[in-house]
Amino acid sequence: MEFSNLQFINGIQKGDIAVFEELFKQYYIFLCLIAEHIVRNPYDAEEIVSDVFVRLWNIRKNIEITTSIKAYLVKAVHNTSLNYLERHRISNKLSDSLSNSDYELLAWDSDYPLGQLYEKEIMNILDQGISSLPDACREIFILSRNEGMTYYKIAGKLGISVNTVKTQMKIALARLRENLKDYLMILLFFIGI
């Protein structure tokens, strides 16, 4: 079922559980990925996203969403994840020299327009970009993204060196970024490759 932004917001206010289910279908995974990127833990990520939805449910009668429901959810998950960082030590290793504020730095900036790429049109461009990668490069990127394989495992599986895998990943990401150039407000910035 295709809901417009307004239909989403009305459905939320009415406590329409079918609308919430649709929200989950569309945004749950993306939101979990955002949270996981920040807190570095998939279980905590799910808890954070779940809490955001529960909070939304609890205040549903009084919500005022001036932007889109997507922007609202992304912001809520982003903020909750950052708060989580403040309250918990991310790493269990005593020897970890990174502070919580370092991990905050590795999360997105509060005023970074997170989520603008999460649109059908743009994701199609991303998919096309991946398909048009040179064969070996594409295979490496897909093994990385889809299976979460480490450099070492990919190298082993394809019978190549770890350095080659690293290089190809670098190339793949750079090309994808190039494909999306128009959609990111990019400050073109050359770093010696």
Partner 1 sequence: MQTKENKQSPNDLIPGYLKGELSVEETGELVSWIKLDNANKRYFDEYCEIWITAKASLKNPGYHIQEGFWKFKQKIKVNEDLKIDFNKTNIFKIITRYAAIFIVAASLSGLLFYYIGRNRVTNPKQSFSELIVPLGSRAQFSLSDGTTVTLNAGSRLKYDNRFGIKDRVVQLEGEGYFKVAKYKERPFTVKTSHLNVMALGTTFNVKAYSDDKTIETTLVEGSIKIEQITDKSSPEVMVLKPNQKLTFYKEDSKMVDETAGPKSKTENNTQPLQVQKSIIIPRLVAENVNVEPVISWKENRWIFEKQSLSRIAVELERKFDVQIIFESERLKTFRFTGIILAEPIEQVLEVMSISAPINYKLKGRVVTLSENKNFEELNKSMYNQQ
Q: List interacting residues with partner 1 (CB under 8 A).
A: 17, 20-21, 24-25, 28-30, 32-34, 37, 40, 42-43, 45-47, 49-51, 53-55, 57-58, 91, 93, 95-98, 102, 105-106, 108-109, 112, 114-115, 117-118, 122-123, 126-127, 130, 144-146, 148, 150-151, 163, 166, 169-170, 173-174, 176-177, 180, 184, 186-187, 189, 191-193
CB of 26 to partner 1, least distance (A): 9
Dmax over Cα atoms in the chain, in whole Å?
A: 58
In the chain, beta strands by DSSP E = none
Tokens of residue 173, six digits: 């990401």
Its sign, for the CA torsion 55, 103, 90, 29, is positive
Tokens of residue 74, six digits: 């992304």
Q: Rounded to 10 degrees, what is the CA torsion of 6, 57, 17, 45?
A: 100
Tokens of residue 28, six digits: 């749950």
CB of 178 to partner 1, least distance (A): 10
At which residue do the structure tokens 């929200």 appear? 23
Tokens of residue 185, six digits: 């407000």
Q: Which is nearer to partner 1, 57 or 67 (CB)?
A: 57
Q: Which is nearer to partner 1, 3 or 108 (CB)?
A: 108
CB of 169 to partner 1, least distance (A): 4
